[in-house]
Amino acid sequence: MRRYLFIVAAMCSTVGSLSVASPPVRAVAPAAFPAPLAGRIPSDAQIYFGWAGPVTKWPGYKNSNLQVVVSHTHIADFIQGNLPMLLHRFNQLPAAHDTQLHISEFKKAFAIGSLLMTHPFAVYFRPISTGIRNVAPVPQVVLIMNAGKYPAAVLAIFKKLPRELYPTGPRISVGAVGSMVYAGIHLTPRVRNALAHRGKTLATAAGFCRTMRFMPAHPVSAEFADLSRLSTYANTLLDQALQHAAPRRSPVGKQQRIIINSAKIILNGQSFHNAVAYASADGFVGKQWLNASFVAMRHSALKPTDGAADMLALAPENSPAVTVSHLNAGAFVRTFKTYLEVAGPTMRRKVRQVIAMVNGITGVDVEKDLINALGPYWLTYQSPAMPVSSALGQVLINKLTHPERLSRALQTLTPMALLAVNAALRERGYTGPPAQLRILHSHGATIYYIKTATVMPAWAIAHGYFYFSAFPRPIEVALARKATAPSILDNKKFVALQKQLGCTGNYTNASFVDQPRLLPDAYATLTTEAATYSLLLGLQFDPPISSLIPHLSDLQKATTTSGSITWTDQTGWHSRSISGYPGSSLLVP
């Protein structure tokens, strides 16, 4: 979700002068702390999110690829030309209809968004002891903002908007310390002390520093969660909820205990118990955009293997888009069964009845012959046999644990899928030739596919691997590829990407997208869709929506190879991704 926040931020910063009911935006010196405003927050904050402010003031923004894109995007002209028309359309919406937007609410939302995007701010959470025995701490949630030269104007907005938007909500206290404006619930003196640099702050807290050292040096946005203490707090709340639950023998009491006990099992399970702290941040590395995430663990829950690299060896060197993922469906089902044990006999009986019904209808043991037959690693890549612009040119490969089981199951299910496809076509009024099941023998394997007028979904099992694609041709090419042929692991761009992301262990997930190669086709699609959306909306934009899109030559200057890698080592779980600029994946998926 954060990538959309960066796009909105760019828009708000470009059109800061159009903000509704917000003070003028002025340059604010960035905070001299490892993350935005972390030095203004109490050291025992358990959840934190910080934002560096307007795009043009982001550390590293100058001479970045993002600056190239923003400078050639005519957002200000588009809003100035079309805002009156949009406001007029909002005024015409039926005021009495609950689902319609009202112009006053739109202005308030726009004011809040503009205010947040154009000023450094942070939000944090910490439990506050009530001092009463057997009563859980109350949550303290605080928003702080560096208002620069206009604390009085921002303070006035903080006082007004919460009452208008949430008149029946909790009491929100507001105030200011110098240029810092704050608003929150259950405030204590430590809030003001931290804003005034008195006492220990989050920026120097040991747990915060240990996790943030894996983040970009000058983050634009940052997140942190003390998972260990949050787990303790959540258990306290669950224990208190259990004490106040309805009588044990009543239907409501039974249901409440099932929910609470299920939550405790999940919360205290191995995956959550191992996690100590979480951090994530975004920022510039040279001209490019980097996202990093890290989970500190007591001990690694996932043992590093070479499984991802083995799967990547199956992807051709010249594929423009490759992804390998770790997803153990069998382990997920086993975990679900563990949680099901506390759901009560009625729920267990219903789940077993559903499973038995599905197995009876299909003639396949879904868990044994389908789920448990699949391996934990999945590879997808864009086949060189298909045009780079074709979204249907993807090949999916899984290294199976039980190939024979899956082969028997799919041969049973494929005719059923054919009947379902033809039934769906008839329901939609299709009168052409019906879909047909075809078999193709290629390179010692059998490819099964359903032939329709548009796509031909195909699958095959060969050499212990499962192959799937929207057409038989990509599978044929994959089967014909020799084991000694160059793979994506030999691609110089992919190798450089790995080094740039600094993987220190065997990775479990990885992705690679040659965005410069895919950009021309993606750009043509985007400009066509922009014109189509204008017609569908029934609005006459002047300038048109296409004016928001920079020229292809400008985007080519800012577009670079993008990708991500996830791995575990002795410190915990790591994930890093890099691209030319935030939001580039929306243009070139």
Tokens 């009202």 found at? 102
Q: Of 392, 383, 249, 388, give the one whose Cα is nearest residue 316.
A: 383
CA atoms within 13 A on the CB side of 349: 3
> Tens of pLDDT along the chain (589 residues)?
454 455 445 445 444 433 333 333 332 333 334 699 999 999 999 999 999 998 888 989 999 999 999 888 877 777 778 777 776 766 665 654 444 445 566 666 777 777 888 899 999 999 998 878 777 889 999 999 999 998 998 898 888 877 766 677 788 899 999 999 999 999 989 999 999 888 899 999 999 999 999 999 889 999 999 999 999 999 889 988 888 888 888 888 888 888 888 888 778 776 677 899 999 999 999 999 999 999 998 875 556 567 888 999 999 999 999 999 999 998 888 888 877 776 677 778 888 899 999 999 999 999 999 999 999 999 999 999 888 767 789 999 999 999 999 999 999 999 999 999 999 999 999 888 999 999 999 999 999 999 998 899 999 999 999 999 999 999 999 999 998 999 999 999 999 998 899 876 678 899 999 999 999 988 888 888 777 777 766 677 777 777 788 899 999 999 999 999 998 888 889 999 999 999 888 877 6
Q: What angle do CA 566, 569, 573 make, to 5 degrees?
A: 45
The answer to whether the CB of 374 falls within 8 A of the CB of 400 is: yes
Reduce the DSSP state of residue 567 to 3 states and report it. Answer: strand
**What burial class does residue 552 get, using C-beta atoms within 10 Å of its C-beta: 0-12 exposed, 13-18 middle, 19+ buried?**
middle
Torsion on CA atoms 163, 167, 171, 174, rounded to nearest 10: -10
- Asked if 374 and 406 count as a contact pair (C-beta separation under 8 A), the reply is yes
User: Which residue shows structure tokens 């934009």?
Assistant: 541
What is the DSSP secondary-structure string of 365-427? Answer: -IIIIIITTS-SEEEEEE-TTS-TT-TT-EEEEEE-S-HHHHHHHHHHHHHHHHHHHHHHHHH
**133 CB burial (10 A radius; 0-12, 13-18, 19+):** exposed
Position 24 scores a pLDDT of 34
DSSP state of 215: S
What is the distance between the alpha carbons of residues 197 and 177, in angstroms, rounded to a whole number?
10
In the numeric block, which tokens belong to residue 572? Answer: 């915990």
